[in-house]
Chains A and B, each alone.
Chain A
Amino acid sequence: MSLDTEVPAPPPVRAPVPEAEDRELRKRERAFAHRDKWWGYAFIAPAGLGLAVFYLWPVVQTLYYSFTEWGAFGGTTWIGTANYDTLLHDAEFWQALGNTLLYTGLVLLGIPLAMVLAVLLNLKGMRGTGVYRTLYFLPVVTMPAAVAVVWRWLYSGDVGILNQALDAVGIDGTYWVSDPDTVRFAVAAVGVWMTVGYNMILLLAGLQGIPQDYYEAAALDGAGRVRQFFSVTMPLLSPTLFFTTVLSVIQSLQVFDLIYLILGANTSVGVTNPAYGEGQTVVMLFFQKSFFDNQRGYGAAIVSVLFVLIMALTALQFRLQKKWVHYA
């Protein structure tokens, strides 16, 4: 039922031009692109410069210093791999590394927990989701120092609320953060508590990005709730899960202030907490060696190992993601 067919055909986008002229035009376009490219660099220069000066250059320097003996006042002497030799035989370092890896593993257990919370908060007809979201997210925006001080009190053996609660049900509590047997789990619990909100928010965003149509289609095909979760939700959420995992690993391996303060290392208790060795993380050891023991070259070696470890673990995760992450 076309009313008129007299609409003139649109003119060709570009009239045929002689070849020479065409070449000229392309050249000008390239020149523009070239100029634009430099503008691009100019715009990212401030950020890039900051990154180079405050992040990249220090990384290079730290690697260099890890091969030196670095006195308290700056003079460095090249000593080759001596710091790394010491590191290999330093039981304290291996214990700190073990503690850090265990902490990372335990904090990763918080991701399934965050997943459950996110799914619950995403349920239709769930009331008070705003309140819950806020409650779970609150620890994320609280300073780790404040979190540590409060938890130190909660965990206190004699006056802590945790032991009072346990006492009420007839369980004898312990000195959670000064007992070598419990300290790792006590700090990891706080670590989970602190990160679960952040992961939950990310996963919630991921969940809400999944189109409803898929569930409807799955329901029509006869898939139940559980089947829907594993066949629709999980694959479509896997990029978010991957992201939270990578981030959690990187952050947990670098954990410092939370544990440092929970152990009371900033107070007169200091390193005399009997659970200090079991609680100490790699970054805490680095801090101690570099800024208190005046062995900064050795401190540089410790963080260099951590740096390489984080890179390796992240690279490994990127490699493994091909097996389980599903990009829609």
Chain B
Amino acid sequence: MRRRSLLTAAAASAFAAGCSSSPGSSDSRHGRLTYGIWDVAQLPAMRRAAREFERTRPGVRVDVQLTPNGTYWTKLRTACTSGTAPDVFWMNGPNFGLYADAGQLLPLETEGGEAVLRPADYPADLVSLYRWNGVQYGAPKDFDTVGLWFNKELFDRAKVDYPDAGWTWQDLITNAQRLTDRRRGVHGIGVPVWAQENYYDSIAQAGGWVISEDRKRSGYRDPRTLEGLRLWVDMIHRYRAAPTLQQITDTDATQLFQSGRIAMVQDASYNAATYYADPELRAKVDVAPLARGRRRATVIHGLGNVVYARTPRPALARDFVRFLSGRRASQIQGKYGTAIPAFHGTQRAWVEGMPEFDLQVFLDAVDYAVPYPTSGNTAAWAHKEQQLLARAWSGDESLDGATTALAKAMDQLLDQEGRAGS
């Protein structure tokens, strides 16, 4: 108890110090900044953006620090605790609540002359993803939506028309069945237990929900939510148009798709560059909008740039975030093609960079996108979610049984969050 009060006091004073020295005070806008990222594929684009920023700011140096995804969060948590985190770093939706709630991030102004970001410049769901209790802590960096990737060769062989915006769930099911060719070991569609790419989308398409708006209740009791999940379970067990979960546990669905063993897979925009990098695959695959359920929907998620609460140069760090999430750096990002920049009107370069693919699909999807479900400790229930849904996917448990257990576990974790936060 004593320990906690000491630590929170220390954090609070550091936080207060950070705030008081923000705009207009003696805080230096010169010196060294560190920028923490986790994706090696985006390193060149981020370095380039950092160089651009340095050019406009004599006396400023930005070090881009890459930490591989596997250890990024563990390392960042430790660094935040010990006061050594990068001044500016990448954030994602599932982790945001944890950092914002613990006061590890610096608020970012959204209006007036010192505004770091203007919400109107970005898709609304991305801005709200990085807002906590009414305060903005992150500026959208990029976004990803989900599309239906398909293998044209397998479609031609089965004489099935390529998917288009008119496809419904029924079309998805019947065509997946027609594409399934057991003799050749080909399945119509790959259905891994992926949240963003599969079941969060279908849940929204069925009109269901994952977490209540106040982030206090699980949506896994709603019959519509179950309807969204049932699509995939049935695709495996009832329609037999997808490999079993055992199969895709042994060989990843992305690999099966790349090697022509499955004809379709739902995948996010950030994998476009990976598919594009392989010349053989580039000629063979393309992407279409997700099939429509009761409504058309995809989940939208994107990374944000955030400022560490205990940075010694808060004003400079905010300037850097303003630049990173602004028009110029977004254009650089788009040109490198590794992620769709979030800033309105800067996405053309990304689409045109891979002309063989119909990437406009991902941009159009923003109009009917739903926000990515998060809470204060998303990781805890998201882990349970995957683990329990996997039992339904594999057929080891009924979908009703798995979701009942999931709803109960999730509510309990959300309840714990509520108590910890108060």
CB within 8 Å of B: which residues of A?
Answer: 69, 71-78, 155-160, 174-175, 177-180, 264, 266-277, 288, 291-295
Contacts and interface: CB of A to CB of B under 8 A. Distances in A.
B246 interface: yes
Given A175-B249, A272-B249, A72 B387 contact: no
B3 interface: yes
A293 B70 contact: no
A273 B245 CA distance: 8
Contact of B192 (A179, A271, A272, A288): A272
B383 A293 contact: yes
Interface in B377-391: 377, 379-380, 383, 386-387, 389-391
A192 B224 CA distance: 48
Contacts of B245: 178, 272, 274
Contact of B249 (A74, A78, A269): A269
5 contacts: A72-B98, A73-B77, A175-B250, A269-B192, A274-B394
B1 interface: yes
B193 interface: yes
A155 B251 CA distance: 11
B70 A272 contact: no
B377 A293 contact: yes
Given A77-B4, A272-B192, A158 B250 contact: yes
Contact of A77 (B1, B192, B386): B1
B420 interface: yes
Chain A interface, >50% SS class: loop
A75 B254 CA distance: 40
Interface residues of B, number: 41
Interface in B67-88: 70, 74, 77, 80-81
B377 A294 contact: yes
B379 A78 contact: no
Contacts of A180: 394, 396
B393 interface: yes
Interface of B: 1, 3-4, 7-8, 11, 70, 74, 77, 80-81, 98, 102, 104, 185, 192-194, 244-252, 254, 377, 379-380, 383, 386-387, 389-391, 393-394, 396, 420
A272 B390 contact: yes
A272 B247 contact: no
A159 B251 contact: yes
Chain B interface, >50% SS class: helix
B246 A272 contact: no
B36 to A, nearest CB: 16
Contact of B102 (A71, A77, A156, A158): A71
Given A69-B420, A177-B249, 5 more contacts: A158-B251, A177-B250, A274-B246, A274-B394, A292-B383
Contacts of B3: 75-76
A299 B11 CA distance: 24
Nearest to A152: B250
Given A180-B396, A294-B379, A269 B252 contact: yes
Nearest to B395: A274
A73 B73 CA distance: 12
Contacts of B420: 69, 71
Contact of A274 (B70, B377, B380, B396): B396
Contact of B383 (A72, A155, A178, A288): A288
Contacts of B104: 73
Nearest to B387: A271
Given A269-B249, A272-B249, A288-B383, A76 B254 contact: no
Contact of A72 (B102, B185, B193, B247): B102
A291 B377 contact: no
B96 to A, nearest CB: 12
Contacts of A269: 192, 248-249, 252
A276 B250 contact: no
A73 B393 contact: no
A270 B249 CA distance: 9
Nearest to B251: A158
A295 B417 CA distance: 11
B407 to A, nearest CB: 16
Contact of A273 (B77, B249, B379): B249
A178 B380 contact: no
A291 B247 CA distance: 28
A76 B194 CA distance: 34
Given A72-B102, A73-B81, A292 B379 contact: yes
B390 A274 contact: yes
Nearest to B195: A272
Given A69-B420, A75-B4, A180-B396, A268 B252 contact: yes
Contacts of A276: 387, 390
Contact of A272 (B7, B244, B379, B387): B387
Contacts of A293: 377, 379-380, 383
B394 to A, nearest CB: 3
Contacts of A175: 244, 246-247, 249-250
A273 B3 CA distance: 40
B98 A157 contact: no
A67 to B, nearest CB: 11
A19 B234 CA distance: 100
B4 A156 contact: no
Given A156-B251, A272-B393, A74 B383 contact: no
Nearest to B419: A69
Nearest to A269: B249
B380 A179 contact: no
Contact of A179 (B246, B251, B252): B246
Contact of A295 (B102, B251, B380): B380
A69 to B, nearest CB: 7
Nearest to B82: A74
